[in-house]
Structure 1
């Protein structure tokens, strides 16, 4: 579905997404598509204004987002025609490198950002944009085909973004998962509750449990954002649905347990549970 040349690496709290595309057009033509606001507006995810020089100001206006919320700013960091165009976009940095490749070009995008778990959202979004850019250069239609989730989930798998971690917490040994989902919190909550209305003190609905993790009494509930329950006298499971990137909610799931809690086993059980949830959301 997507090239294996797309990679995601994390170092010192920053993550770099690198995507390569071969384009059947010379660097000068690709440069124009990357830097001319009239062409950018046909494939880039926002409308752009740019002062095309190092230090030049940029603005990014998101379609359909009203007022100041839909406007972000950036600064050109590199503008070396027709080889390198790079700029900041809020706290992110985008670097576009163009090199001759036979009669065409090799385009390398490096997107550097802080939210590693948004990597699949960014990759699937850029995949669609770069496919549209290629179509624009070829003179074909430029209507964007929005990813309905399949591409996102393929990148989650490729970049191994569904893996949890073991951690020591004030409440004892635990595990933590952070997983971007492809549906909004309300849809995820409906899938997890299956028509039940959770309440404090009542058993947690089955959707919030995993094999070997019984649904004990709910200790906190705030639909459609938070549900926590006591699965063991010394252990809590907590589901939290936060604002995410791209498609939907960001799931943060934690489980704590008593001394000797088998975190390796918990990592396996919850990974399987979360991936089954993701597959159900994709099917829906």
Structure 2
């Protein structure tokens, strides 16, 4: 889950769907809400959106980088967590390897530490839900 930098969460998941489908799960509101959080996510640099994080409240985001079908990076919770989420997709066998890097946690801050610990535990499960969300979307 984590790499050498103690302020960065890293994890990956094999998803048995082609990269184009996984890209939709990251960049379209309906599938995104099914596996993680509701929000008007779009793969457009400069696009600002809000994610409904339940008990963590609404979190503001802004798209920082897009390589269609390959990479999506956005700021997450500026002004409180000031972190950055990067998604990277690689074709692998009959599906996609989805890589996540959630960086910028201030571990000296109680909020930063709590978010790092909570998201560190939560991200692997969220990535496992991408497959289920894609099956649900395809079945409707």
Q: Do Structure 1 and Structure 2 share a fold, with TM-score over 0.5? A: yes
1:214-229, aligned counterparts within 5 Å?
Answer: none
User: Which 5+ residue runs of structure 1 have no aligned equivalent?
Assistant: 1-5, 141-284
Aligned residue for 1:42, secondary structure, equals helix
User: Which 5+ residue runs of structure 2 have no aligned equivalent?
Assistant: 108-112
Larger Rg over CA atoms: 1
Query: Any idea what the Cα deviations from partners look like across 1:65-116, whole Å, max 9, x if unmatched?
Result: 7xxxx32212101122110111001111000000110121111000013244
The match for 2:110 is: none
Query: Any idea what the Cα deviations from partners look like across 1:3-48, whole Å, max 9, x if unmatched?
Result: xxx224337xxx111101111111000000111111111111x321
The answer to whether structure 1 residue 39 and structure 2 residue 31 are counterparts is yes
Aligned residue for 2:4, secondary structure, equals strand
Candidates 68, 81, 85, aligned match of 1:81: 68
Query: Any idea what the Cα deviations from partners look like across 1:209-250, whole Å, max 9, x if unmatched?
Result: xxxxxxxxxxxxxxxxxxxxxxxxxxxxxxxxxxxxxxxxxx
State the alpha-carbon separation in 1 of the partners of residues 120 and 23 from structure 2.
21
The match for 2:53 is: 62
Shift in Å at residue 62 of structure 1? 2.8
State the alpha-carbon separation in 2 of the partners of residues 107 and 80 from structure 1.
14
Q: Work out whether residues 27 and 42 of structure 2, in 8 Å CA contact, stay in contact via their aligned partners in 1.
A: no
Higher helix share: 2
Moved over 4 A (4+): none
Aligned residues: 127
Query: Any idea what the Cα deviations from partners look like across 1:135-194, whole Å, max 9, x if unmatched?
Result: 223449xxxxxxxxxxxxxxxxxxxxxxxxxxxxxxxxxxxxxxxxxxxxxxxxxxxxxx
Tell me the TM-score normalized by structure 2.
0.79
State the alpha-carbon separation in 2 of the partners of residues 50 and 24 from structure 1.
23
Candidates 9, 12, 19, aligned match of 2:11: 19
Aligned residue for 2:40, secondary structure, equals strand
Tell me the TM-score normalized by structure 1.
0.41
Candidates 99, 111, 120, aligned match of 2:102: 111
Bigger relative CO (Cα 8 Å, ≥ 6 apart): 2
